[in-house]
Structure 1
């Protein structure tokens, strides 16, 4: 269903000068932090410092949005991310913009098409930030989108999101820490790929849970790598106490809380297998089998011989041969 919302939001049109938006002054909107200082420890310390802008109470102040409603639209974002093969960071940034927008701005209706329009706009902005190839705005509305919006309306919503977020699209994410924390556990690099790949899966499976909004990206990354490491026998001894020492700014109680919540989500998302029904078999020893075989064969032969001792009379009655007829 196509919706024209040109008159629905009076503040969708931004008042910024086009020279400011598209001028020569480039905005710091990149979330790619690979070009940081060669000193990795210093780079991580800088990321921790940048987390000072983290909104501590965003979970309780997202305009009273119902958790199940939020999960519904986040799930749609993840479906589109998988459909087009976007990076996990693209999905994470989309949800990040979605939550930050609702923390600072109230929509006319906190359900239905306004949230769908917001989801599309946030996903579009994140894809433009991180992906080399971005589908058209119409093609982006797949995977069961409830409403189909005209491109011009999505663009206007994008401008509103940019204005509400103060054009700050660069956001620290748990993905920025994964390689660093994985190398802390396994300096040889043998299991680094497994740890980071498994951590990516765990992060994506958890961003639907609003409870994780209470934790900083570095804490989520530490708990995620800890969760992935505990799946390997070689690193099952790694605890939150070890993780706290990986860099400054990590706290054991926060890591434990995030880790516990994460394990609950991982367990609840595991597919449940139907129990295998094994037919009841009677187990007998060889002696009883021999005995039963001989007894059954003798009983079979006796019943066989007994059957031959009977004959059917012409009148339809049965009579044993050994008794004979008195007539």
Structure 2
């Protein structure tokens, strides 16, 4: 096992997205730009169109974005996107939303669903990060497939990344992985290869449009998921990831699929139990909770998913 003890992450290349990857200087430049400049670039407005908007703005005492919307040169969505760029708040442009419809925190950051994730994020920040010296990953668990566990883990990761800290979402569902589909990422290599001891490239991928969010997909689906996560390599990897990222969220397989969810949660240190409204059974939830309690993971809360 010496090969895993010698800094696992240093051997795992991180793939940065080609677009939307800004340096600190570039981010500062965006913040210093006017709304008009950002909208003009996004909508390919020429000088005469910009002047018409400015004239209408002065005449009616409006903001540039409001004037552009009234004149039909921009939409409300264009204005919100420009504001998000100024305030470094990840917000998917319209053309990217159809590709990742489940990411409500990115596609619809002002919706009731996104607000629910932000409220939960606030609760987790209090419960998980009260002791700076205690570093834990958060395993998202649920009794059955279809409870919304992967949807929940993905949107929670986006919400954490919107705070600005480096956030990693690990897809540890080695049975039915979905995070590569949710984010529209490649899945040729990933966690299964690392745990099997293979050297693979572009394992950790940056999410386009969110400079602080990264995803470690499963890669090839293995025939021995429980054995892979039970190896010491998974615990060592988790501990090292916690030194590289501010937040680590881990998607797990359904509890009904096998015991791997409990092993993963124990390696993470903390777990969050997700139930499906009007579908999850109290007995199943109690059984999952008891299993987590018997292990090394502490349960930081239970969430009822109604969306």
Q: What is the TM-score when the length of structure 2 is the normalising length?
A: 0.23
> Which structure ranks higher in relative contact order (CA pairs < 8 Å, sequence separation ≥ 6)?
2
Q: What is the TM-score when the length of structure 1 is the normalising length?
A: 0.22
Higher normalized helix content (fraction of residues): 1
Q: Indicate the structure (1 or 2) with the bigger Cα radius of gyration.
A: 1
Higher normalized strand content (fraction of residues): 2
